[in-house]
Chain A
Amino acid sequence: MQPKTGERPSLWPGLLGIAGVAVYLIVFLMIESQVGVAVLLVGGAAAVVLAARFGALERMRTSFAGREGSMDIAVPAAVLALVLVFHQDHFTLLLVATVMIFMTASLGLTVQFGFAGVLNFAGAAFLGIGCYTAAVLTKNTGLSHLLVILAGGVMAALIGGLLLYPVLRTRGHYSAVITIAFTLLFKTFLEVNDALGGPQGLRVDGLNLFGWAFNDNIALTETVELSFYTNYVLASLVLVCLGFAFLRRLDRSWIGLNMDAVRLDETASACFGYNISRWQITAFTVGNFLIGMAGALYAMMLGFIAPTNFTFGDSLILVSIVLLGGIGNPWGIAVATTIVIVLPEKLQMIQEYRFLLYAAMVILILLFRPRGLLPRPLRAYFPGWQPK
């Protein structure tokens, strides 16, 4: 039964916001000069501050919350517009696809950190499991690549299953050490294992779905040709949309409610008869599955993977994305991933300093805005529902 929502909030603030962000991103990605990038960054920050000051952000938020269906179409449409603009630019499209793949992986971490409160400092390791599964399967079997992506997720979930028992038995700091030890163990294992390419890594075949080779440029007409990365942008867009829809369903279901209870107070929820282990297992497995799928697609897009892609530092980057966005809020993840992935690529002068800057940024956020850029709002079961 749909509760009375009164007047539905206007569509325009949300659409204008999306359009504004899209135009901003297009200009940002197009511009080459470092001065231009710096000016745009300052301009963007100022625009956000001004928008917050005059209540425009608040109106956008209501619009997003109230007209979910329209926004769910508008945002991917904006991404497609971005792709059209850059249809021949390999590098930019690769960047866009990378952002969406990392978004998917961070959505997985959100289920673990944000919903059930299971600490996972092995995000990069599970991403790596997905990558190496894809590498091995594409090389040695003729399995359909759609299944390879699924297999990446399944492998990550299964290997994560090995960690379940110690993760569930331990609490707090004790459980953090298990995933950290696993990350180090995983990278060392890859480096010394010659069957998996050792420190040199492995080549991965490109994605090929039912005869549609993703590594070929798309020739629309004789003269217009789309970069082959367009394929990967589309694939990762589909993946991130599925992940997003799944996360939202999960959030609004009784499962999400149970996970929240388990995260907020284990003792109290145990007293009310919640099965704590069940929800922690579910969250850990589902999260790793998402991360693994993202990894499989990532490997096929990159075409080459090596152990240095999956270090503890990379796990920390994934965790900082989740934290920066606001733990548990998928829109926050979208914003945070874009910032964390795109910024160092565009600002060549900070490329060398990026780990330093991320770390400093997270420290400042923890000290001054511990709930992240876009804190998780109260759960809304119906679009536009307002508590009376």
Chain B
Amino acid sequence: MDVGLFGQYVMNGLMLGMMYALVAVGFTLFFGVLDVINFAHGDSLMVGAFTGLATYLGLRELGVVWPAVQVPVVLAAATAAMAVAGALIARYLVLPLKSAPALNTLLITLMLGTVLRESIRLFYPAGANPKPFPALLPAGAVELGNFSLRADNMLMLSAGLVVIVAVHLVINRTKLGLAIRAVAQDEETARTMGIDFTRIVLVTFAIGSALAAFAGIMNGLYYNEINFGIGLLLGVIGFSSAIIGGLGNIYGAIIGGFLFAALQTIGAVALPFASAYKDVFAFAVVILIMAIRPTGLLSEKVSERV
């Protein structure tokens, strides 16, 4: 394979990996503080992307046409809306079921995902059709041999990296992060130390869902198209990534995200049979990894007290 084509595949894999990693970090944060899986996460991403699109259309109506204004406003609107939505999901759907079996939380969030998906399909104007997403980033490219390094991709990758580093800093360097880690480690002890458990859970859900909205905008900018169904697959992929990384471990989630993207890319390029099987291949490998390491690659320490 020539270098240019190889570069394209690597770039594509990196972009996908960044999106998956952002989604997976959300899953792992939720699991850390509350031991729950929020299956509506992928659909939060989709709603985030649609919020961004609606904001863009609104701005255009108002006559704001400068990308330097559009991009920050679209991003801010989408992440803020999803942060609020995430906190509401935690407050009214997840926390009330805290003492119920894990299956119930899983189901209620799965069903909420369906509600979000169907609501967009039915109530967003012509929501059943794919929507073109505007190219807001500069379109230039640097030619390296026969591989063109696109400026918008580089911008998105760096933005994703900045966000991940920011999350890392918040979790490890701030008082809020300390509280989140404390709650993740032991809820009761954290409470006795004066940490407001509910508030931390709500804030964590807000952070995670805002990350999903960010990934949703990235997804829209990368493919120049969004539709109501993207959340389901991205959610399951993000969840699988968080799982193969080891739930509750942020670095595991990031590794898992890039690993899944690598699997898909390998499935599309290197396998002898048609590239249409790339998802079949990637999910089959995920199942295999789970069989070999049932609690993920960087597994949490489990010991069951009876």
Given A312-B232, A353-B122, A363-B112, A169-B239 contact (CB < 8 Å): no
Which residues of the partner chain A approach B276 to less than 8 Å between Cβ atoms?
Answer: 188, 191-192
A166 touches B287 (CB 8 A): yes
Which residues of the partner chain B approach A149 to less than 8 Å between Cβ atoms?
Answer: none
Q: Which of A184, A323, A360 contacts B236 (CB 8 A)?
A: A184
A178 touches B118 (CB 8 A): no
Flag whether B166 is at the interface (Cβ < 8 A): no
B118 touches A355 (CB 8 A): yes
Which residues of the partner chain A approach B290 to less than 8 Å between Cβ atoms?
Answer: 166, 169-170, 174, 177-178
A36 to chain B, nearest CB (A): 25
Separation of A129 and B114 alpha carbons in the complex (Å):
24
A170 touches B111 (CB 8 A): no
For B27, give the chain A residue with the smallest CB separation: A173
Separation of A139 and B290 alpha carbons in the complex (Å):
37
For B281, give the chain A residue with the smallest CB separation: A185
Which residues of the partner chain B approach A83 to less than 8 Å between Cβ atoms?
Answer: none
Flag whether A171 is at the interface (Cβ < 8 A): yes
Which residues of the partner chain B approach A60 to less than 8 Å between Cβ atoms?
Answer: none
A363 touches B283 (CB 8 A): no
Flag whether A156 is at the interface (Cβ < 8 A): no
B31 touches A173 (CB 8 A): yes
Fill in one digit per residue for A167-211: 1 if any B CB lies within 8 Å of its CB, else 0: 001111110111011101100110110000000000000000000
Which residues of the partner chain A approach B277 to less than 8 Å between Cβ atoms?
Answer: 188-189, 192
For A323, give the chain B residue with the smallest CB separation: B107
Instruction: Give residues 119-174 of B contacting A (CB, 8 Å).
Output: 119, 122
Flag whether A383 is at the interface (Cβ < 8 A): no
Flag whether A267 is at the interface (Cβ < 8 A): yes
Given A184-B236, A192-B277, A352-B122, A170-B306 contact (CB < 8 Å): no
B115 touches A356 (CB 8 A): yes
Flag whether A268 is at the interface (Cβ < 8 A): yes
Separation of A169 and B233 alpha carbons in the complex (Å):
24
Instruction: Give residues 252-306 of B contacting A (CB, 8 Å).
Output: 274, 276-277, 279-280, 283-284, 286-288, 290-291, 294-296, 304, 306
**Prevailing SS type, chain B contact patch:** helix
**Prevailing SS type, chain A contact patch:** helix
Number of interface residues of A (CB under 8 A): 43
B-binding segment of A41-49, A272-280, A313-321:
A313-321
Separation of A113 and B296 alpha carbons in the complex (Å):
24
Q: Which of B112, B283, B294 contacts A181 (CB 8 A)?
A: B283
A177 touches B280 (CB 8 A): no
Given A176-B106, A323-B107, A370-B100, A358-B286 contact (CB < 8 Å): no
Given A119-B103, A173-B37, A184-B233, A359-B280 contact (CB < 8 Å): no
Flag whether A362 is at the interface (Cβ < 8 A): yes
Separation of A184 and B294 alpha carbons in the complex (Å):
20
Q: Which of B104, B115, B236, B274 contacts A366 (CB 8 A)?
A: B104
Question: Which of A352, A358, A366 has the most CB atoms of chain B within a 10 A radius of its CB?
Answer: A366
A194 to chain B, nearest CB (A): 10
Q: Which of A163, A171, A174, A267 contacts B306 (CB 8 A)?
A: A267
A375 to chain B, nearest CB (A): 14
A177 touches B118 (CB 8 A): no
Flag whether B249 is at the interface (Cβ < 8 A): no
User: Can you identify 8 A-B contacts, CB atoms within 8 angstroms?
Assistant: A166-B288, A173-B247, A174-B247, A178-B290, A189-B280, A267-B304, A356-B122, A362-B107
Residues of B within 8 A of A (CB): 31, 37, 93, 96-97, 100, 102-104, 106-108, 110-112, 114-115, 118-119, 122, 232-233, 236, 239-240, 243, 247, 274, 276-277, 279-280, 283-284, 286-288, 290-291, 294-296, 304, 306
Other 15 A-B pairs with CB < 8 A, given A177-B290, A370-B97: A163-B287, A166-B290, A169-B290, A170-B294, A177-B239, A185-B287, A192-B280, A352-B122, A362-B111, A363-B93, A366-B107, A366-B108, A366-B111, A367-B93, A370-B100
Residues of A within 8 A of B (CB): 113, 119, 163, 165-166, 169-174, 176-178, 180-182, 184-185, 188-189, 191-192, 267-268, 312-313, 316, 319-320, 323, 352-353, 355-356, 358-360, 362-363, 366-367, 370
